[in-house]
Amino acid sequence: MEEQFEYSEKVMDHFRNPRNVGQIKDADGTGRVGNPVCGDLMEIQIKVENNILKDVKFKTFGCGSAIATSSMITEMAIGKTLEEALKITRGEVAAELGGLPLIKMHCSNLAADALHAAIKDYMSKKEEKAKLEAEKYDFDVIVVGGGPGGLTTGILCAYRGLKTAIFEASSWGGILSWLCPDKMIENFPGLCEKSTCSDLVNSWMNEAKKLKVEMKKERVNEITPDRKVIAESGEYRGKILVLATGSSPATGGIKGEEKFSKDEKGVYYYVRNPQNFQGKRVVIVGGGNSAADAALSLADTADLITIACRSDELKVAPNKIERLKAIDKVKVLYNTEVVEISGTDKVEKVIMKDLKEDELIQQVVDSVVLAVGLIPNTEIFKKLGLEMDDRGYLKTDKTQKTNIDGIYAVGDIASDLALVVVAVANGATVAHNAYVELRKPYWK
């Protein structure tokens, strides 16, 4: 080192034992600077993970001061955020070394300038990459399914400024529209007994349109792991894909069920229009809220309603039990299983088994409503490689994310607690996390 200058011990140490010398394979950013007066040349490379400088290396051609400042700044920068590293000044580099002769201060200038140049190079590349990546996608978020969970997800994503599309093959509102459009909302805090299911769906639809969510009424035929949706009108890609395909009524596996389940022959899986049961004798198979809802909806139209319940009690909200008891035409047969549905062209009778007495009972009926639960609509996802439990529900973490990166699931396909309020909460969770993942807000 030049003998005419006095250097601190720290400068001498970094000159004789420079830290972090070399190059970084596949560096995220490179900064090169030089001083034409003294001929010093300096190159700094950086590796970035989650906005943190994980590695910094340098190559310097020049005097001992240039080597010492380069070595020093790498130690100062490693572990800092990019924003913190950009604030490292030339004076701070010199101060960390115990000072530099005034004539050598340009060396500290080079070190800080090279680091800042490397960070700016990284940011420029990241911005360009993001721009190119964005051109590959049609939407920030694509939601497959327009039920409570899907509509909520779409609305809240659009509210956060994310370009969003929702695909729905059948009825907007899902189960609320095709199963119980006229039912009063009972288990949604703030809306109980204030609006019908169709009122709620219409409110969601209006909000989605105001926020410019693209509402696509078409079937999705295939989904790929890279978040491509192949629909009837073409192929679409989303940065994030949300699955919200809901559930369908489960079948009962009863002898004769399939024969009479089509063409209005007497077997139904839900009560869409109570007027179709005017004056009829109806057996409802099930022991939960769905069975109770079906019975209550038929109270003004059917002549006789029999609920066949396999257990010794109905697993129903207490207020519904009281309402059922107040209807004379409703009869509940406990510990009873429907084993056969028969008739010529239409349903004419059912054979039931008393599970306690082990006896068969015949009853003349006009219609059978099977309210034996819901099954998740996840068949389309089996080729996708999504993890499911043994009942067909998609496995998700606390953010509703599946095992495939960028794919989330909400509502009845991700929870056996088939409640509107649960699907809505799932949608809010996904919208929040989609925004965080795509926009990287300052507070995360």
d(CA 248, CA 255): 20
Whole-angstrom CA distances from 245 to 187, 205, 226, 394 are 21, 17, 19, 11
Whole-angstrom CA distances from 397 to 246, 349, 394 are 18, 47, 10
State the catalytic residue, choosing from 107, 157, 180, 309.
107
Residue 386 DSSP class: -
Vertex 208 angle, CA 232 and 225, to 5°:
45
Residue 328 DSSP class: T
Q: Is residue 157 flagged as an active site residue?
A: no
User: Exposed e or buried b for every residue in 15-35, given b needs 16+ CB within 10 A?
Assistant: beebbbeeebeebbbbbebbb
Q: Is residue 38 flagged as an active site residue?
A: yes
**Contact at 8 Å (CB) between 242 and 144?**
yes
d(CA 364, CA 323): 25
Chain-centroid distance, C-alpha 76: 40
Vertex 172 angle, CA 199 and 406, to 5°:
120
Whole-angstrom CA distances from 402 to 111, 387, 430, 437 are 45, 7, 11, 15
Which residues make Cβ contacts (< 8 Å) with residue 128, sequence separation at least 6?
none
Residues acting as catalytic residues: 38, 107
